[in-house]
């Protein structure tokens, strides 16, 4: 499903000082896995997640998604990967503020030119699963953090991508909402057979997943 | 997909209502100011040309060779009447007249000035250029010795209605002759050649006075819409000078060209202001939404989609500005074309340039069409700089900043 081979990533701070954010990372994640990248703050979890989702470039190594090398594609091809193959859930929800909940959930489906009726059915289905049926017409600014994160999850899974990358999805949620979110993610993982990769240092997330990949100072532990 | 992009663009365009309204009003007010100014300039030029055409040259005038240089009666067109008779039957000529002009000295009780005594046929002049519309005082019932005097000449010679005026000139045998005339009407044409030095009397009276054949004329003036007529008449009357307005009155043609340049400069300045206005608003609007664009790029919205969205936003606001500007401009131009801009306080100065003291606006559909294209162009151009900022945007930076 996802395979990383000797991935290295550097960040340059100023002219000479560089941070080796990912050090020779090689790993493999199979279809339908429920995985967490874990480690202390600054260990490279988010950087690794962003590299997997072709949001960020790597300096060396290779990343394969379904046996296709994706790290050296051009910007347009990377956009297509993000649109069709990967779903993202961000720590800060990152919903589009001018669009209603319904429009946010259907946004990626519309970009994929999915039939209007299908979009409507899928939005209703997800709203029911994520318990936001009564919030569909509201703008994100009218929702609580937990509700916004559920909308972000709905947007990510709406098109049934092969993989969902979730970066600290519980960081801004209380324990009750965090548990509810993880339960929903687990349900989606099982029902839709979606591969879900979390980047989190939240013990609750780490305990809830099937497999934990630990990082320390940019290296696999 | 495009429906979503356009829907996003509309929502964002109207998100900051005050800013959007300010931009729309800025475009509308700039546009209406510019079009009103253009309408006035063009109206002024058109009015000057129209007055000259009606009171003097027509679209085409025929003179004997050397007449315009030497201004002597011996260079008159001898076969003027027969030429006029031929031209009257020409399908593209709406009116043709003959005039006889001699230069001399006009003297009132107190002053004397060099003047032109012009022999005309009042009935023909009426159909040629609505001569009666130039009459500011008196009437066209000339009687035995009646004459019509240009407004500025009347002022210079201190002539009032029914005042006596003596005109002196050499007749065809080079003998000095004088004629006593009585002012029956004063005309104002805004054509300085007429207003400053013309005295009109019936052509027949003038012919008798200077002792020439009544068929003789110094000018044959023609009204036509046919652009090729001048060339046709040039070929037909090779021994005569067949001239158009620009050739007879190059200053007027130059002024027309100057107005085109002036309008183009005004247009560019106003469009520059519109461009900067849209650029400013779109730049701020885009910078405010960098995070939003970053998120959209992260979830698979392409840069092309953002380009379409931002261009649509700018064009949408510009079109609203154009529509409102069209309403303002139409109202303003309608008022100016009907009631004019009264500049009577500057009438002396304007008159010396051959301009009327009330300037009427001119409305042309092309003003709106040209402005439409310019506003669309300015709005599309104005988003290129902000779009460059988005192109450089790495979505991961936005997401990192949020985290």
Question: B285: which chain A residues are within 8 Å (Cβ-Cβ)?
Answer: none
Task: Write the CATH number for A136.
Answer: 3.40.50.300
**Mean pLDDT score of chain B, rounded to an integer?**
89
CB contact under 8 A, B292 and A96: yes
Q: Which pLDDT value is given to residue B59?
A: 95
Question: Quick check: B125 pLDDT over 90?
Answer: yes
pTM for the complete prediction? 0.77
CB contact under 8 A, B295 and A56: no
Closest chain B residue to the Cα of A83, Cα to Cα: B300
**CA B222/CA B97 separation, integer angstroms:** 7
Find the farthest-apart pair of alpha carbons in chain A and give their distance in angstroms, rounded.
55
* Contact assessment for residue B120 and residue B175, using Cβ atoms and an 8 Å cutoff: no
Question: Quick check: B267 pLDDT over 90?
Answer: no
Looking at the complex, does the CB of residue B82 fall below 8 Å from at least one CB of chain A?
Answer: no
**CA B29/CA B20 separation, integer angstroms:** 14
**Tokens (6 digits) for B287:** 């910078």
Considering only A98-112, A173-187, B167-181, B202-216, which range has the smallest mean pLDDT? A173-187
Question: B402: which chain A residues are within 8 Å (Cβ-Cβ)?
Answer: 90-92, 94
Nearest to B143 by CA among B91, B185, B95: B185
Tens digits of residue pLDDT in B32-74: 999 998 898 888 888 888 888 999 999 999 999 989 888 888 8
Q: Which residue has the tokens 């874990």?
A: A38
Looking at the complex, does the CB of residue B402 fall below 8 Å from at least one CB of chain A?
Answer: yes
Q: Which pLDDT value is given to residue A188?
A: 82
Residue from the list A88, A110, A168 with its beta carbon closest to the beta carbon of B298 = A88
CB contact under 8 A, B300 and A55: no
Considering only A57-61, B195-199, B254-258, which range has the smallest mean pLDDT? B254-258
CB contact under 8 A, A92 and B303: no
User: What DSSP element (H or E) covers A78?
Assistant: helix A75-84
CB contact under 8 A, B292 and A97: yes
Question: Quick check: B159 pLDDT over 60?
Answer: yes
In angstroms, the separation between the Cα of residue B320 and the nearest Cα of chain A is: 21
CB contact under 8 A, A83 and B299: yes
CB atoms within 10 A of CB A138: 15
In angstroms, the separation between the Cα of residue B347 and the nearest Cα of chain A is: 59
In angstroms, the separation between the Cα of residue A82 and the nearest Cα of chain B is: 5
**Mean pLDDT score of chain A, rounded to an integer?**
88
CB contact under 8 A, B403 and A76: no
CB contact under 8 A, B11 and A98: yes
Closest chain B residue to the Cα of A167, Cα to Cα: B403
**CA A202/CA B77 separation, integer angstroms:** 108
Q: Which pLDDT value is given to residue B401?
A: 60
Q: Which residues of B133-172 are buried (b: 16+ CB within 10 A; e: fewer)?
A: ebeeebebebeeebbbbbbbbbebbebeeeeebebebeeb
Question: B7: which chain A residues are within 8 Å (Cβ-Cβ)?
Answer: 103
Residue from the list B295, B394, B399 with its beta carbon closest to the beta carbon of A96 = B295
CB contact under 8 A, B15 and A98: yes
Residue A16 CA to its chain's centroid (Å):
32
Find the farthest-apart pair of alpha carbons in chain B and give their distance in angstroms, rounded.
107
Tally of domains in chain A: 1
**Tokens (6 digits) for A71:** 């790290």
**Residue spans per domain, chain B:** 2-52+253-402, 60-224
Residues in B 290-349 with any Cβ partner in A closer than 8 A = 292, 295-303, 305
* Contact assessment for residue A144 and residue A175, using Cβ atoms and an 8 Å cutoff: no
**CA B187/CA B5 separation, integer angstroms:** 66
Q: A88: Cβ–Cβ under 8 A, 6 or more apart, which residues?
A: A53, A55, A82, A94, A156, A164, A165, A166, A167, B298, B299
Q: Which residue has the tokens 């819409």?
A: B225
Q: What angle do CA B392, B396, B397 make, to 5 degrees?
A: 65
**Position A17 confidence tier, pLDDT thresholds 50, 70, 90:** low
In angstroms, the separation between the Cα of residue B318 and the nearest Cα of chain A is: 21
Question: Quick check: B254 pLDDT over 90?
Answer: no
Closest chain B residue to the Cα of A49, Cα to Cα: B396
Residue A21 CA to its chain's centroid (Å):
19
Q: DSSP character for B74? A: G
Sign of the dihedral through C-alpha B137, B141, B145, B149:
positive
**Tokens (6 digits) for A95:** 């919903």
**Position A63 confidence tier, pLDDT thresholds 50, 70, 90:** very high
Looking at the complex, does the CB of residue B11 fall below 8 Å from at least one CB of chain A?
Answer: yes
Residue from the list A50, A75, A108 with its beta carbon closest to the beta carbon of B299 = A108
Q: Which pLDDT value is given to residue B341?
A: 87
**CA A180/CA A130 separation, integer angstroms:** 9
**Position A49 confidence tier, pLDDT thresholds 50, 70, 90:** very high
Dihedral angle of Cα A81, A86, A91, A92, to the nearest 10 degrees: 60
Question: A45: which chain B residues are within 8 Å (Cβ-Cβ)?
Answer: none
Residue from the list A55, A76, A83 with its beta carbon closest to the beta carbon of B395 = A55
Question: B1: which chain A residues are within 8 Å (Cβ-Cβ)?
Answer: 110-113
Dihedral angle of Cα A109, A111, A113, A117, to the nearest 10 degrees: 40
CB contact under 8 A, A79 and B300: yes
**CA B390/CA B384 separation, integer angstroms:** 10
Question: Quick check: B403 pLDDT over 70?
Answer: no
Residue from the list B1, B296, B297 with its beta carbon closest to the beta carbon of A113 = B1
Tens digits of residue pLDDT in B336-378: 989 888 887 777 777 666 667 788 888 889 889 999 999 999 8
**CA B293/CA B291 separation, integer angstroms:** 5
CB contact under 8 A, A88 and B301: no
**CA A41/CA A163 separation, integer angstroms:** 24
Question: Quick check: B402 pLDDT over 60?
Answer: no
Q: A216: Cβ–Cβ under 8 A, 6 or more apart, which residues?
A: A39, A40, A43
Residue from the list B8, B297, B403 with its beta carbon closest to the beta carbon of A168 = B403
């Amino acid at each position: 499903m996802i395979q990383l081979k000797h991935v290295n990533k550097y960040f340059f701070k100023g002219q000479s000082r560089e941070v080796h954010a990912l050090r020779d990372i090689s790993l493999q994640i199979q279809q339908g896995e429920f995985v967490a990248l874990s480690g202390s703050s600054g260990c490279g979890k988010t950087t690794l997640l962003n590299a997997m989702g072709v949001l960020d470039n790597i300096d060396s190594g290779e990343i394969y998604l379904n046996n296709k090398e994706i790290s050296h594609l051009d910007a347009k091809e990377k956009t297509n990967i993000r649109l069709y193959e990967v779903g993202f859930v961000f720590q800060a929800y990152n919903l589009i503020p001018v669009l209603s909940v319904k429009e946010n959930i259907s946004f990626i489906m519309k970009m994929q030119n999915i039939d209007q009726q299908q979009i409507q059915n899928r939005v209703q289905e997800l709203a029911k699963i994520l318990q936001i049926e009564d919030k569909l017409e509201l703008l994100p600014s009218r929702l609580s953090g937990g509700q916004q994160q559920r909308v972000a999850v709905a947007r990510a899974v709406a098109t049934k991508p092969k993989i969902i990358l979730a970066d600290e999805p519980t960081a801004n949620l209380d324990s009750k909402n965090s548990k509810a979110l993880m339960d929903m993610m687990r349900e989606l993982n099982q029902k839709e057979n979606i591969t879900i990769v979390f980047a989190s240092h939240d013990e609750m997330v780490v305990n809830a997943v099937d497999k934990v990949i630990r990082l320390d100072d940019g290296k696999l532990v | 997909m495009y429906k979503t992009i356009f829907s996003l663009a509309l929502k964002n365009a109207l998100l900051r209502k005050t800013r959007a309204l300010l931009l729309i009003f800025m475009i509308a007010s700039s546009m209406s100011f510019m079009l009103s100014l253009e309408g006035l300039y063009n109206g002024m030029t058109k009015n000057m040309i129209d007055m000259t055409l009606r009171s003097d040259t027509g679209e085409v005038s025929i003179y004997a060779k050397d007449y315009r240089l030497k201004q002597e009666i011996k260079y008159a067109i001898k076969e003027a009447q027969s030429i006029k008779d031929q031209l009257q039957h020409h399908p593209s000529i709406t009116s043709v007249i003959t005039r006889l002009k001699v230069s001399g000295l006009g003297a009132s009780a107190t002053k004397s000035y060099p003047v032109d005594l012009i022999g005309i046929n009042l009935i023909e002049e009426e159909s040629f250029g609505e001569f009666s519309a130039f009459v500011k005082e008196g009437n066209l019932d000339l009687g035995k010795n009646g004459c019509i005097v240009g407004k500025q000449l009347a002022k210079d010679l201190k002539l009032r209605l029914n005042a006596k005026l003596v005109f002196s000139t050499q007749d065809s045998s080079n003998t000095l002759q004088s004629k006593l005339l009585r002012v029956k009407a004063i005309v104002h044409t805004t054509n300085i050649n007429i207003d400053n030095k013309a005295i009109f009397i019936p052509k027949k009276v003038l012919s008798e006075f200077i002792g020439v054949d009544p068929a003789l004329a110094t000018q044959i003036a023609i009204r036509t819409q046919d652009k090729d007529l001048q060339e046709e008449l040039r070929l037909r009357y090779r021994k005569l000078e067949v001239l158009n307005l620009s050739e007879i009155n190059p200053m007027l043609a130059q002024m027309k060209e100057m107005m085109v340049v002036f309008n183009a400069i005004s247009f560019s300045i106003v469009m520059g202001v519109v461009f900067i206005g849209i650029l400013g608003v779109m730049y701020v609007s885009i910078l405010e939404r960098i995070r939003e664009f970053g998120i959209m790029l992260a979830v698979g919205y392409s840069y092309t989609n953002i380009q379409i969205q931002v261009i649509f936003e700018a064009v949408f606001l510009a079109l609203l500005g154009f529509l409102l500007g069209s309403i303002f401009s139409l109202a303003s131009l309608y008022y100016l074309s009907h009631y004019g801009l009264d500049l009577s306080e500057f009438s002396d100065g304007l008159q010396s340039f051959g301009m009327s003291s009330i300037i009427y606006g001119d409305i042309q559909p092309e003003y709106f069409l040209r402005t439409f294209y310019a506003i669309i162009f300015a709005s599309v151009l104005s988003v290129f700089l902000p779009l460059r900022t988005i192109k450089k945007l790495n979505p991961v930076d936005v997401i990192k900043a949020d985290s």
